[in-house]
Amino acid sequence: MRKLSFALSLVLLLTLSVGASPALDKKDTKTLQEAVPVLNALANAPDKGIPQELLAKADCILIFPNVAKGAFIVGGKAGKVVASCRMPDGSMSAPAFYEIGGASVGFQIGGQTADVVLLIMNEGGVSHLLSDKFTIGGEATATAGPVGRTAQASTDAQMHAQILSWSRSQGLFLGAALDGSVVKPDKEANESLYGRPISGREILVNSKVTTPSQAKSLIQSITRHMDAAAAHEQAEKSEKSKS
DSSP-assigned letters across all residues of 44-102: H-TTTS--HHHHHH-SEEEEEEEEETT---TT-EEEEEEEEEB-TTSPBPPPEEEEEE-
Q: What angle do CA 221, 124, 197 make, to 5 degrees?
A: 60
pLDDT band at 73 (very low <50, low <70, confident <90, very high): very low
| Res 96 pLDDT > 90 | yes
What number is the average pLDDT over the span 226-241? 80
Average pLDDT, the chain: 77
Tens digits of residue pLDDT in 178-190: 777 788 999 999 9
What number is the average pLDDT over the span 102-108? 48
| Rounded Cα distance, 1 and 4, in Å | 5
Cβ pair 98, 183 in contact under 8 A = yes
Q: CA-CA distances (angstroms) from residue 237 to 33, 59, 173, 178, 233?
A: 34, 20, 25, 32, 6
Helix (H, G, I), strand (E, B) or coil at 123: helix
| Res 15 pLDDT > 80 | no
| Rounded Cα distance, 212 and 193, in Å | 7
Q: So what's the pLDDT on residue 67? A: 66
| Res 176 pLDDT > 90 | no
Cβ pair 99, 83 in contact under 8 A = no
Residue 70, phi then psi, degrees to nearest 5 = 85, 5
Cβ pair 42, 91 in contact under 8 A = no
What number is the average pLDDT over the span 209-236? 88
Of the two residues 232 and 109, the one the predictor is more confident about is 232
Helix (H, G, I), strand (E, B) or coil at 104: coil
Of the two residues 164 and 218, the one the predictor is more confident about is 218
| Res 71 pLDDT > 60 | no
| Res 28 pLDDT > 70 | yes
Strands 142-144 and 163-169: parallel
Of the two residues 87 and 21, the one the predictor is more confident about is 87
| Res 177 pLDDT > 80 | no
| Res 69 pLDDT > 80 | no
Of the two residues 115 and 103, the one the predictor is more confident about is 115
What number is the average pLDDT over the span 74-88? 76
Least confident among 36-45, 50-59, 106-115, 232-241: 106-115
Helix (H, G, I), strand (E, B) or coil at 128: helix
pLDDT band at 159 (very low <50, low <70, confident <90, very high): low
What number is the average pLDDT over the span 196-206? 93
| Res 14 pLDDT > 70 | no
Interhelix angle 26-44/187-194, rounded to 10 degrees, is: 90
